[in-house]
Amino acid sequence: MEPRKPSLALTLALFLTVAAMIAASVLVWEVDIHITLILGAMLTIAIGVAVLKYDYATIEKGIIDGIMTGMQACLILYTVGPLIGTWILSGVVPTMIYYGLAILNPSIFLFATLLICSVVSLSTGTSWGTSGTVGIALMGIALGLGIPAPLTAGVVISGAYFGDKMSPLSDTTNLAPAVAGTDLFQHIRAMVWTTGPTYIIVAVITIVIGFRYAGGELDAAKIAAIQALMRAEFWINPVTLIAPLVVIGLSAARKPALPSLWAGIFVAIVIALVNGSGIGEILNIMQYGYVPTVSASIAGAGEDAAALAKVLAESNITVAPDIALEAANDIVKLMERGGLQSMNWTISLIICAFTFGFSMDTCGFLKVMLEAIMKPIKSVGGMVTATILSCFVCDIFLGDQYLSIAMPGTMFRSAYEEKGLHPRMLSRSLEDAGTLLSVLIPWNTCGAYHTTVLGVPTLEYAPYAFLNYLNPIVAILLTYMGIGIAWRGKEGEPVISKTRPANLV
């Protein structure tokens, strides 16, 4: 018996039920959503088998095939965990924080963060690599400068995703034009129309917010304490920056992500060995993450004045005890991270999300939802809006930015051709939403990853990831205003015009 196609009513009922379950898990019960996603998958499978007459084996195969598409992301996560641990042990991250505290000040910090992450991501083509390296260091600098962690994380992500989106080295920047049927540089030129104005807006926002911190008193004593504790525990030396430079260089040379990250780990291991770390210690940190020693001892002494004074004396730290205690607690919170095991929460979330998303996809619910979004389209603005909404739906249900580009791109390609639009309009819209909105969803691979490496829950940094949610809005508004619309010329070239030129085929 042929499986039945789900009705729109059934699709919406399932969608709203699972959405309510997820909302209750987060807002009412305040629990992780892993089990909720599995329950959503169980409900979807039950409806697929009992109502739509799908064979269970078919659904299971669809889920397994879907999970396999996320294996590269899981491998990268299992590599980033050991990388973070070794980069902390060898002094890479502490060195970046140490000198960053000496150079940056609160008034320019957010703007500088946006620029630094943008440049690194443009150079490497990876938002994940940017956030997991310089992003962590910037989070530490923000801690010393008194800038809230969610705000810093949001700006780090804005810069990282700007570079990822606009870099010709980025995988999503190459995927979108391939799906839409245009070339890479036409795609990048098209994105300038929407991402350029958005980036300027975000830059202004970071400058304005920076003014709020400019008038505040810089806690020089706390910064000095953080630097003193870092000198006592880590090797602070610009030589350690060889590790991130190797990763950036290999990424810029378009080498695969995993070998590039492994090279960064290898350099960090060599630095750690030279500075006296044992092989067993290094392997343990790669497995379980770095745990501070000096700072943890100070934090453990707590309010015991005698114990605190003893630890400070043994470590040759000449800092006021109360300030040292505060700085130690901050360093422990920041540096106690990394390791392969630290990524298990994130990877299990990805697998749960893919199980739910691909049960929805295999049973046809996702296709019905996308068709419903496409149905009322009558204008170019409506088509761009529908594309962005479709990408967002895929980001939610499939949990992966690549799939949220590939699936809507395949479905909308002929519709854009029939309208006479240049395919770069489609590729631009796919990236304006599929790439940028993925990191705002807690169970998406991108949201889960950034929560893990930056140490800030997705829903806390999301309001400050200005570029990620403003860019789709700007794209829709500009299209309805007739700005930056590209029509397909007779020779396939883009023709910029508010309305379709009469002389075009």
Q: pLDDT by residue (tens digit) across 93-134?
A: 999 999 999 888 889 999 999 999 999 998 888 899 899 889
Both tokens of 463, joined, read 């309001």
Residue position matching structure tokens 């390791």: 339
What single DSSP character describes residue 343?
Answer: G
Q: Are the C-beta atoms of residues 359 and 316 closer than 8 Å to each other?
A: no
Measured in degrees and rounded to the nearest 5, phi and psi for residue 318 equal: -105, 75
Taking 80 as the threshold, does the pLDDT of residue 303 lie above it? yes
**pLDDT tens column, 456-503:** 999 999 999 999 999 999 999 999 999 999 999 988 899 898 888 876
pLDDT at 54: 97
Burial per residue of 51-72, b for 16 or more beta-carbon CB atoms within 10 angstroms, e otherwise:
ebebeeeebeebbeebbeebee
Query: Is residue 187 exposed (0-12), middle (13-18) or buried (19+ Cβ within 10 Å)?
Result: buried
Q: Are the C-beta atoms of residues 145 and 109 closer than 8 Å to each other?
A: yes
Task: Kindly give, in sequence order, each residue whose CB lies less than 8 Å from that of residue 214, ignoring residues fewer than 6 positions away.
Answer: 106, 107
Element (H, E) at 199: helix 184-214
The average pLDDT across 80-88 equals: 94
Give whole-number Cα distances, 399 to 41, 69, 275, 276, 448, in Å.
13, 11, 42, 43, 10
Of the chain, the percentage scoring pLDDT greater than 90 comes to 71
pTM confidence score: 0.87
Radius of gyration of the CA atoms of the chain, in A:
24
Count other Cβ atoms within 10 Å, centred on residue 204: 12
Domains of the chain: which residue ranges? 8-69+345-496
**pLDDT tens column, 352-403:** 989 999 999 999 999 998 889 888 888 999 999 999 999 999 999 988 898 8
Query: Is residue 215 exposed (0-12), middle (13-18) or buried (19+ Cβ within 10 Å)?
Result: exposed
Taking 60 as the threshold, does the pLDDT of residue 417 lie above it? yes
Element (H, E) at 495: strand 494-496
Of the chain, the percentage scoring pLDDT greater than 70 comes to 99
Q: Three-state SS for 486?
A: strand
Q: What is the DSSP string of 57-72?
A: HHHHHHHHHHHHHTHH
Q: Which parts of 276-400 fold into alpha helices (H)? A: 279-288, 294-301, 305-314, 321-335, 344-362, 365-374, 380-398
**pLDDT tens column, 55-78:** 999 999 999 999 998 888 889 889
Count other Cβ atoms within 10 Å, centred on residue 220: 8
